[in-house]
Structure 1
Amino acid sequence: MKTLFKNIGPGPLVAAAFIGPGTVTVCTLSGVNFGYSLLWAMLLSIIATIVLQEMSARLGIISQKGLSEIIRTEIKNPILKGFTIVLILSAIVIGNAAYEAGNISGGVLGLETIVGNPNIEIAGFPVNTLSIVIGAIAFILLYIGNYKLLEKVLVGLVILMSLAFLITAIMTKPNISEIFKGLLIPKFSNDSILTVIGLIGTTVVPYNLFLHASLVKEKWHKTSDLKYARKDTVIAIVLGGLVSMCIIISAAAIQSQDINSASDLAKGLEPLFGSFSKYFLAIGLFAAGITSAITAPLAAAYVASGCLGWNSNLKSKKFKSVWIFILLLGVLFSSLAIKPIDIIKFAQVANGILLPVIAGFLIWIMNKTSVLGIHKNTIKQNIFGFIILGISILLSVATLNKVFHLNIF
Structure 2
Amino acid sequence: MTPPPASLPIHGSLSESHRSVAVPAVGTAFGRRLFAFAGPGFLVAVGYMDPGNWATDIAGGSAFGYTLLSVILVSNLMAIVLQALSARLGIVAGLDLAQACRQHYSKPVSFGLWVLCEIAIIACDLAEVLGTAIALQLLFGLPLVYGVILTALDVFLILALQRYGFRKLEAFVVALLLIIAVCFAFELLLAQPSLAGILGGLVPTPQIVTDPAKLYIAIGILGATVMPHNLYLHSSIVQTRAHRRDEAGTREAVKLATIDSTVALGLAFFINAAILILAAATFHTAGRTDVADIADAHRLLAPMLGMGAASVVFAIALLASGQNSTVTGTLAGQIVMEGFLNIRLPVWQRRLITRGLAIIPAVIVVGAMGDAGATKLLVLSQVILSLQLPFAVVPLVMFTGDKRLMGRFASGRWLKVVAWAITVVIIGLNATLLWGML
Return the TM-score normalized by structure 2. 0.80
Per the alignment, residue 85 of structure 2 pairs with: 55
CA distance in 2, matches of 1:220, 1:71: 24
Q: Give the 3 Å change call, closer, same or farther, for CA 321–386 of structure 1 in structure 2.
A: same
Deviations 1:355-374 (A, max 9, x none): 22322221211122222111
Per the alignment, residue 123 of structure 1 pairs with: none
Deviation at 1:305, TM superposition (A): 0.7
Deviations 1:73-113 (A, max 9, x none): 122xx3xx413x23322222243234323312212212322
* Correspondence 1:242 to 2:242: no
Deviations 1:241-284 (A, max 9, x none): 11110000000121323422222212111102211211121111
Aligned with residue 236 of structure 2, among 214, 230, 238: 214
Per the alignment, residue 381 of structure 1 pairs with: 415
Aligned with residue 120 of structure 2, among 90, 95, 99: 95
Q: Which runs of 5+ in 1 are unaligned?
A: 120-125, 311-315
Matches for 1:383-398 after TM superposition, within 5 Å: 383-398=417-432
Q: Give the 3 Å change call, closer, same or farther, for CA 160–2 of structure 1 in structure 2.
A: farther
317-326 vs 295-304, which deviates more?
A: 317-326
Per the alignment, residue 82 of structure 1 pairs with: 108
CA distance in 1, matches of 2:149, 2:347: 26
For 2:396, the aligned partner's letter is L
Deviations 1:201-239 (A, max 9, x none): 211111110011011101354412222101111011111
Per the alignment, residue 59 of structure 2 pairs with: 29
Matches for 1:347-386 after TM superposition, within 5 Å: 351-386=385-420
Per the alignment, residue 8 of structure 1 pairs with: 38
Q: Give the 3 Å change call, closer, same or farther, for CA 334–293 of structure 1 in structure 2.
A: farther
CA distance in 2, matches of 1:346, 1:116: 25
CA distance in 2, matches of 1:374, 1:330: 42
Per the alignment, residue 202 of structure 1 pairs with: 224
Deviations 1:36-69 (A, max 9, x none): 1111111100110000110000110112211110
Matches for 1:2-401 after TM superposition, within 5 Å: 5-75=35-105, 78=106, 81-83=107-109, 85-117=110-142, 127-128=146-147, 131-132=150-151, 135-136=154-155, 138-141=157-160, 144=163, 146-188=165-207, 189-190=210-211, 191-222=213-244, 223=250, 224-252=252-280, 253-254=282-283, 255=286, 256-273=288-305, 274-310=307-343, 317=345, 321-330=349-358, 337=366, 351-401=385-435
CA distance in 2, matches of 1:128, 1:357: 33
Identical aligned pairs, as a percentage?
A: 25
Q: Give the 3 Å change call, closer, same or farther, for CA 350–133 of structure 1 in structure 2.
A: closer
CA distance in 1, matches of 2:32, 2:303: 41
8 Å contact kept, 2:54–2:294: yes
Deviations 1:300-351 (A, max 9, x none): 22111101124xxxxx54565323321344456657856899x999977874
CA distance in 1, matches of 2:398, 2:155: 40
276-285 vs 186-195, which deviates more?
A: 186-195
8 Å contact kept, 2:58–2:276: yes
8 Å contact kept, 1:20–1:292: yes
Root mean square deviation of aligned Cα:
2.9
For 1:235, the aligned partner's letter is V
CA distance in 1, matches of 2:242, 2:435: 41
For 2:91, the aligned partner's letter is I
Q: What SS does the corresponding residue of 2:202 show, helix, strand or coil?
A: helix
CA distance in 1, matches of 2:380, 2:202: 32
Q: Give the 3 Å change call, closer, same or farther, for CA 199–58 of structure 1 in structure 2.
A: same
8 Å contact kept, 1:92–1:351: no
8 Å contact kept, 2:130–2:148: no
8 Å contact kept, 1:197–1:398: no
Q: Give the 3 Å change call, closer, same or farther, for CA 99–364 of structure 1 in structure 2.
A: closer
8 Å contact kept, 1:87–1:354: no
Q: What SS does the corresponding residue of 2:189 show, helix, strand or coil?
A: helix
For 1:294, the aligned partner's letter is V
Q: Give the 3 Å change call, closer, same or farther, for CA 130–271 of structure 1 in structure 2.
A: farther
Q: What SS does the corresponding residue of 1:127 show, helix, strand or coil?
A: helix
Q: What SS does the corresponding residue of 1:193 show, helix, strand or coil?
A: helix
For 1:93, the aligned partner's letter is E
For 1:157, the aligned partner's letter is L
Q: What SS does the corresponding residue of 2:102 show, helix, strand or coil?
A: helix
332-341 vs 56-65, which deviates more?
A: 332-341
8 Å contact kept, 2:61–2:279: yes
